Amino acid sequence: MNPVLEFPVKLETDFDQEMAEWLEAFDEVVDDQGPNKGADLLNALVRRARDAGVDVPVHLNTPYLNTIPASEEVPYPGDRKLERRIKSLIRWNAMAMVHRQNKKDPGIGGHISTYSSLATLLEVGFNHFFRASYGDEPGDLIYFQGHASPGVYARAFLEGRLSEEQVKNFRHELRGTPGLSSYPHPWLMSDFWRFPTVSMGLGPLNALYQARFMQYLENRELIKKTPRKIWAFVGDGETDEPETLGSLSLGSREKLDNLIFVVNCNLQRLDGPVRGNGKIVNELEAYFRGAGWNVIKVMWGCDWDPLFAADKTGLLLKRMEECVDGELQTFKAKGGAYIRKEFFGKYPELLKLVEHMSDDELHRLTRGGHDPQKVYNAYLRAVQHTGSPTVILAQTVKGYGLGSAEARNATHSEKKLADQALSAFRTRFDIPIPESAARDGSLYLPAEDSEELQYMRERRRQLGGFIPTRELAKLHFDTPSIAEFSESLAGSKGRAVSTTMGYVSMLRQLLKDPKIGKLIVPIIPDEGRTFGMESIIRQVGIYASKGQLYKPHDQDMLLYYREEKNGQILEEGITEAGSMASFTASGTSYSNYNVITVPFFTYYSMFGFQRIGDLVWAFADARGKGFLVGATAGRTTLLGEGLQHQDGHSHVLASTVPTCHAYDPAYVYEIAVIVQDGMRRMYELNQDRFYYITLYNEDYPMPEMPKGVEEGILRGIYKYRESAKGKAVVQLFGSGPILNEAIKAQEILAEKYSVAADVWSVTSYNELRRDALSTERWNRLHPAESPKKPYILNAIDGAEGPIIAATDYMKIVPDQLSPWLRERLVSLGTDGFGRSDNRQYLRRHFEVNAESIATAALSILARHGKFDAKRAQQAFQDLGVATEGQDPAVL
Ligand SMILES: Cc1ncc(C[n+]2csc(CCOP(=O)(O)OP(=O)(O)O)c2C)c(N)n1
Ligand SMILES: [Mg+2]
C-alpha cells in the first residue's frame, strides 16, 4: 500500500494513541473488505463530521506519487530494448535536424528540449495506442505539442514517410524541395498535419470541443460509434493560458471519455520554472479533479519503487512533498552528488535508504514520464476509463539526455549542442554512428531491413497505419441551386425586416433541405434570442447529450426551449472561444471524419475577430470551411449598446486572414447569393476558404434581386440605383444598412441640389482589393503584355465624378480601393469609439447619415469646381451637418 498518511512516528499523547487506533481500524477495513469499503467508511465519517458542524476541508490532491501503484501495473507488452533503440534514434534525428540547421543557417531556430522530455510519452503512444484507423473508420486524433514537431518528423523519417532531403529542409520551406514547417501547419503540410497547435492553449481547447463534436456526430448518426480517442499533448507552461483550462468542465459534463489530455510536466516553460515556488502537478491535479476529470499522475519511474517499498515511515514521500518545483529542477540540473546531499541528506533515514546507490544512479532515478512501463499503464487506464475525460500528469525533465542542457532555465532556447555534448548524446543513447558524424550532427537512418525499422512499421501496421497523416476522402455534396433560395431573392414585399431575420429564414430553409439539411451545424454562444433564432431552436432542437431531463416552463409555447439528444444546434453558452472551437471541429469534419458538415457560427460581431482572432487564424491554417456570421454588426446600426458592443472594425480584422472571404451585405438576396456560391465553392469545388458575413438588426424593406447582379455581389460591387436625372456626376458607394443612407443622399442631391448621383452596393471591399492586388501583381510581372484591369475598374467603367464611399465600418475599409481609382475616394466611416444612442444620432455623430453623404458629395464637387463652393458650405448648415465639432475618430 502507498504510505498515504503521515503516521505519527512517536505516540506521545493520548490523542496520538487514539489516532493510531483509528488508522489501524481503517487499515483493517481496507485490507479485509477492499478499498471501496474504505472509501464508504471515509465518506460516512465526513458526512457525520459535517452534520456535527466540523469544518472538513475539501482535498483535491492525492499524495505526490503515481496514481497507479506498482502492484496494480500490467507488464509492458512491447520489446523494451528495441523500442528504446528506436526512441534513441528518433531523439538523435530530432536533435540533429535542429542542430544542423542552426549551424548552417544561424537563427533559423527550432526546439530540442521539448521533444526530449516528450519522447517516451509519444513513443509509447505510437507503438501501442495511437490507432490510425478502426477498420474502415478513421482513427484517433492527436494534438501534438507544437514545438515538439522535430520528434514527430524524426519518426516519420524512420518510417520512410519523409525523405532525408525533406528533413534536411526543416524550416526551409522556400527552397524547391518541400521543406518541413516549423510547427504543425496543415496549410503548409496538408497531407501530414491535421491540427495547428503551436499557439499555446488552442490545441487543448480545440481538442476538448473536438471530443464533444465527435459525440455530437455519433448521437446524430452522422458517423458510426467507434472507440476513437482524441489525445492532446499539452505543455505544463501552456496550462497558464486561459484557453487550456477555461472549458474543462465541458469534458465532465458531457462525459467525454473519448478524450485524453497528456500534460508534459517538465516543470519548465520558456523563461524558467512553471511553478518554481509551488508544484504544478498538484495545482493541475486539483484543477482537473475539481472539474470532474479522471486524473492519473505518472510521477516516478520503476527505479523508485524499491525505495518507496523500503521506506516504511512515509518519509520519502514527505521529502518529495516538501520540495517545490524549483528544487526538483535544480536536483536534475546539478546531478547525483547534489541530490544525495540536498534531497536525501535532509533526513538521515533517507540517506541510509540510498547508501547502496552511486551518485550516477541517483541522478538517473527516473521521472515517471520517461518510464515506458509507467506511461503504458497510465495510457491503458486512460483508454479503458469510462464516464469522464482523463488527464495524465506526467512528470518529465526538460532537455532530458541533453547533458549540460538538461533542466536548465535556458534549455528551451537551446538550438545547438557543443561537440562534446553531441558525443555525450551519442554515447548515452548508443547512436551507431562514428564520432565524427556525431559531431557533424548527421542524420541516422538504419537499413531498410533493420530490426528497428521493421518493428516500428509492424507496430504501425497493427495500429492501422501511420500518424499523423491527413488524407482526404472524395466526398459528395449537393449544393442547393440558387432557385431554392427563391424566398430570400424575392424581397420582403414592402415589409420592414432586418438582414438578420432574412438570414434566419434562410437558415431554416437550409435546415429543411432533404439532402444537406442534416449537415448544417448552427452554433450560437447564448445569443440565439438576440438574433431571433427561437424558431430554429424549435425546429431542430438544441443538442443535449442527455436529452431534456426537465419540463421546460415554456413547453406549452410554440417556440419552447427544446433540448434533444439528437438536437442539431450547438448552443455553447457564453463562450465565443468554445463556439469557435466547435466551428473548427465542424469546419474540418470533412478531413477528420470524412463527413462534410456546414457550420454557421452566428455571434455578436464585436466579440468575434477581436476576441478570438487567434482561433480564427488556426481555423484557416487547418483549412477550415464554413460561415462565420457576425450579427448585430455596425457601429451605428447596433443602437443603444455603446462602446464595447458596436463593431466598426471586424471587416478590417477579417481582411487579415488569407482564406477568409468577408462580405457586408445590405439586402437578403445578397446573402443568399453569397451563401449559395460559398457552399458550392467550399464543398463541391473543394476550395479551402471560409466566409465572414455581417448581419444587422435594422428593419427596412428588402428589395427583390435585380437582374444580373450575382457576379457583382460575389466580386464585391454592382450598381444598385442609377441616377434618375441624367448622367451622374458623382458616385455613391454604400454597404450594409448604410446603403440606404446613400440612396437617401441620392434623393437629397437630386431634389435639393439638382446633382445626379449613381448608387452602388459594395458587398466586399476586401474582395475587390484582393482582386486588384492580384491583377496589379500580374501586370508588374508582365510588363511586355497589355495590362489587365482589376474588377473594380471594369465594374465602374464609364461612371463619372468623384466617389463617396459610406460604411458602418472604419474608413480604411473603403480606402483599400484608393490606389486603383482615378482619384482618392471620399471615405465616410465609423472610426472611433461607439456611443449609446439611437441610429439617427449615431449616424450623425459618425458622419455616415444621408445628410453627411450628400454634403460630402457637394463638398468634393465644389473642390473640383463642379459646384458652387458657397452653396456647398451652406448645404452643411441646411442639412444639419456640424462643421466645427470634434472629429468622432478621436472623441
Ligand atoms: C500563445 C503563445 N504564446 C507564447 C508562445 C511562445 N512559446 C513557445 S513554447 C513556450 C514555452 C512552452 O512551455 P511549456 O508549455 O511548458 O512546454 P515545454 O516546452 O516545456 O514542454 C512559449 C512561451 C507561443 N507559442 N504561443
Ligand atoms: Mg514545460
Question: For every residue of 738-750, which 3-state class applies, written as one string?
Answer: HHHHHHHHHHHHH
Q: Is the dihedral of CA 477, 481, 484, 485 positive or negative?
A: positive
237 CB near ligand 1 (under 6 Å)? yes
CB 147 within 8 A of CB 114: yes
* Residue labelled with grid coordinates 442534416: 518
What is the arithmetic mean of pLDDT over 279-287? 98
Atom of ligand 1 lying closest to residue 274 CA: 16
pLDDT band for position 3 (50/70/90)? Answer: very low
What band does 822 get if pLDDT is binned at 50, 70 and 90? confident
Helix residue ranges per DSSP H, 557-648: 576-587, 589-592, 609-621
Quote the CA–CA distance of 745 and 856 in Å, as a whole number: 10
Mean pLDDT of the chain: 96
* pLDDT mean over 418-430: 91
**Cβ(147) to ligand 1 under 6 A?**
yes
Using CA atoms, how far residue 871 sits from 858, 859, 866, 879, in Å, is 9, 9, 11, 12
Condensed to tens digits (0 to 9), the pLDDT of residues 466-508 reads 999 999 999 999 999 999 999 999 999 999 999 999 999 999 9
Which of 267, 206, 257, 194 lies closest to 386, judged by CA? 257
For residues 232 and 259, the answer to whether their CB atoms sit within 8 Å is yes
pLDDT tens digit string along 301-323?
A: 999 999 999 999 899 999 999 99
Beta bridge partners, 180, equal 170
Classify burial at 456, counting beta carbons within 10 Å of its beta carbon; exposed 0-12, middle 13-18, buried 19 or more: buried
Residue 191, C-alpha cell as written in the block: 497531407
> Mean pLDDT throughout 427-440?
91
Q: Whose CA is nearest to atom 16 of ligand 1?
A: 237
Q: What is the pLDDT of residue 384?
A: 98
Question: From edge to edge, which strands make up the β-sheet containing 757-762?
Answer: 717-721, 757-762, 730-734, 803-806, 826-828
Pairing of strands 496-497, 757-762: unpaired
93: cell is: 534525428
Check pocket membership of 273 for ligand 1, CB cut-off 6 A: no
DSSP state of 177: B
Dihedral angle sign, alpha carbons of residues 213, 219, 221, 226: positive
Ligand 1 atom with least separation from CA of 117: 21
User: 274: CA distance to ligand 2 center in Å?
Assistant: 7
By mean pLDDT, which of 2-16, 71-85, 400-414, 775-789 is the weakest? 2-16
Separation of CA 320 from chain center: 36
Q: Which three cell numbers stand for residue 748?
A: 437629397
Distance from residue 815's CA to the centre of ligand 2 (Å): 45
Question: Within a 10 A sphere around the Cβ of 38, how many other Cβ atoms?
Answer: 17
Question: What mean pLDDT do residues 185-211 have?
Answer: 98
Q: Work out the pLDDT band at 718, boundaries 50, 70, 90.
A: very high
Beta strands in 503-551 (DSSP E): 520-524, 542-543
Residue 230 has phi, psi (to 5 degrees) of: -115, 120
Q: How confident is the model at residue 118 (pLDDT cuts 50, 70, 90)?
A: very high
| Element at 287 (helix H, strand E) | helix 280-290
Whether the Cβ atoms of residue 639 and residue 839 lie closer than 8 Å to each other: yes
Nearest one of 509, 503, 556, 577 to 533, comparing CA atoms: 503
Residue 782 makes CB contacts below 8 A (sequence gap 6+) with: none
- Overall average pLDDT of the 827-850 stretch: 98
Among 206, 412, 413, say which to mutate for ligand 1: greatest number of ligand atoms within 8 Å of CB. Answer: 412
Q: How far is the CA of 241 from the centre of ligand 1 (A)?
A: 10
CB 590 within 8 A of CB 475: yes
Query: Which range (76-80, 414-418, 590-594, 747-751) has the least confidence?
Result: 414-418
Model confidence at 1: pLDDT above 50: no
State residue 59's pLDDT score: 87
Ligand 1, residue 201: give the atom nearest the CA: 1
Least trusted range by pLDDT, from 410-424, 594-608, 609-623, 752-766 = 410-424
Q: Is the CB of 198 under 6 A from ligand 1?
A: yes
CB of residue 275 inside a 6 A radius of ligand 1: no
Q: Which three cell numbers stand for residue 625?
A: 470551411
Closest CA to 802 of 737, 743, 853: 853
Residue of 115, 233, 238, 402 to mutate, ligand 1, most atoms within 8 A of C-beta: 238
Is the CB–ligand 1 distance for residue 151 below 6 Å?
A: no
CB 660 within 8 A of CB 594: no
Taking the CA atoms of residue 234, residue 238, residue 240 and residue 243 in that order, the dihedral angle to the nearest 10 degrees is -70
Residue 16: the pLDDT is 87
Cα(268) to centroid(ligand 1), Å:
10
> Residue 6: is its pLDDT beyond 60?
no
Q: Please give the distance, rounded to the nearest whole angstrom, from the Cα atom of residue 269 to the centre of ligand 1.
A: 6
- In ligand 1, the atom with minimum distance to the C-alpha of 198 is 25
**What local confidence, expressed as pLDDT, does residue 785 receive?**
98
Is the CB of 413 inside a 6 Å radius of any atom of ligand 1? no
Which of ligand 1's atoms lies nearest the C-alpha of 238? 15
591 within ligand 1 shell (Cβ under 6 A) = no
Give the helix, strand, coil percentages of the chain, each rounded to 5: 45, 10, 40
Please say if the pLDDT value at position 215 is more than 90: yes
Window from 135-139, 365-369, 449-453 with minimum mean pLDDT: 135-139
Q: What distance in Å separates the CA atoms of residue 121 and residue 304, rounded to the nearest whole number? A: 19
Q: Is 644 helix (H, G, I), strand (E, B) or coil?
A: coil
Region 706-710: what's the mean pLDDT? 98
Using pLDDT thresholds of 50, 70 and 90, give the confidence band for residue 2: very low
Q: At residue 798, what is the residue type?
A: G
Ligand 1 atom index nearest CA of 118: 21
Position 205: which residue type?
A: L
Question: CA Rg, the chain, in Å?
Answer: 33
Query: Does the pLDDT of residue 4 top 50, yes or no?
Result: no
Measure the CA–CA gap between 344 and 338, rounded to whole angstroms.
9
Q: Exposure string (b/e) for 424-435, b if CB count within 10 Å is 16 or more?
A: bbbeebebebee
Query: Residues 281, 284, 289, CA angle at the centre, nearest 5°?
Result: 120
Q: Residue 7 has what pLDDT?
A: 52
